[in-house]
Amino acid sequence: MAKMIRVPDEYHAWVKAHNQEGETMFETLRRLTREPDPEALAGILSSDEVDDAREAAERFGGRDEERLKRAREAFKE
């Protein structure tokens, strides 16, 4: 589900100025805020690290259900 947020014109212009060709605003914000793509993490963690990440996700408490769901799916592989 998509959400709309209001930001000052200056901030929108700054994000847009950093937008790379073919990149959506979401992708630009993800890159600028250094949020990793869950799929990029699959296969690089040990099983102990995956367990720790799962426990951390559970402690997170579902405050962002969609993000949590993507993280869980990435760690299943």
pTM: 0.42
**Within-domain flag for 54:** yes
The domain in which residue 52 lies consists of 43-77
**Within-domain flag for 1:** no
**How many Å apart are CA 52 and CA 74, to the nearest integer?**
14
**Within-domain flag for 20:** no
Is the sign of the CA dihedral 26, 28, 33, 36 positive or negative?
Answer: positive
**Within-domain flag for 75:** yes
Give me the number of domains the chain comprises: 1
Kindly report the average pLDDT of the chain as a whole number: 79
**How many Å apart are CA 5 and CA 7, to the nearest integer?**
6
Closest CA to 67 of 76, 59, 77, 57: 57
**Within-domain flag for 69:** yes
What region does 55 belong to: left with phi over 0, alpha with psi -120 to 50, or beta?
alpha
pLDDT tens for each residue of 18-39: 999 999 988 898 888 876 666 6
* Residue 14: predicted pLDDT: 92
- DSSP-derived secondary structure letter, 61: T
